[in-house]
Amino acid sequence: MIQECITTEKAPKAIGPYSPAIKLGDMIFTSGQLPIVPETGELISDSIEEQTAQCLRNIEAILEEAGISMKYVLKTTVYMTDLSEFGKMNAVYADFFTEPYPARSAAQVSALAKGARIEIECIALDTRALEVICSQEGCSSCETACGREE
């Protein structure tokens, strides 16, 4: 199995024996991203809104290093220490994605590393090669997936 580790100076370095993200074929799996500012190595603040945005900026930086954007995210998992703040998290989260939104799970946990209030991970699929094939073949090979009829 050929795996590629994805790292970037624009996202926090791993704080343990794991990779920030792994690419296998067209799939990209990020590790949980804490709201750590890459330049300082510290949490951004105590605000759930700012922590959510930083987690997602870290994911965005990793995906950009892999050559894709947030539109390629299929699934996210959100871990929060207080689900009563779900609405605040959700409002910020919505700024980073467009329809169709990724599938998502959210769970409350008792604690997160470094005292963070939130951690987010994702699975993304780089479909750029398929998009080229579809554009060249007029979507004849993926009518259902593209939602177009001939």
Residue 137's identity, in one-letter code, is: E
Distances (CA, A) of 9 to 37, 56, 61, 69: 11, 15, 9, 17
pLDDT > 90 fraction of the chain, expressed in percent and rounded: 81
Under a CB-based contact definition with an 8 Å cutoff, are residues 21 and 6 in contact?
A: yes
145 falls in which pLDDT band (50, 70, 90)?
low
| DSSP category for residue 33 | B
| pLDDT tens digits along 59-75 | 999 999 999 999 999 99
What pTM was estimated for this model as a whole? 0.88
Total tally of structural domains belonging to the chain? 1
How many CB atoms are closer than 10 A to CB 76? 24
Domain with residue 57: its CATH number is 3.30.1330.40
| pLDDT tens digits along 67-119 | 999 999 999 999 999 999 999 999 999 999 999 999 999 999 999 999 999 99
Domain that holds residue 10: 4-146
Omega prior to 38 cis, within 30 of 0: no
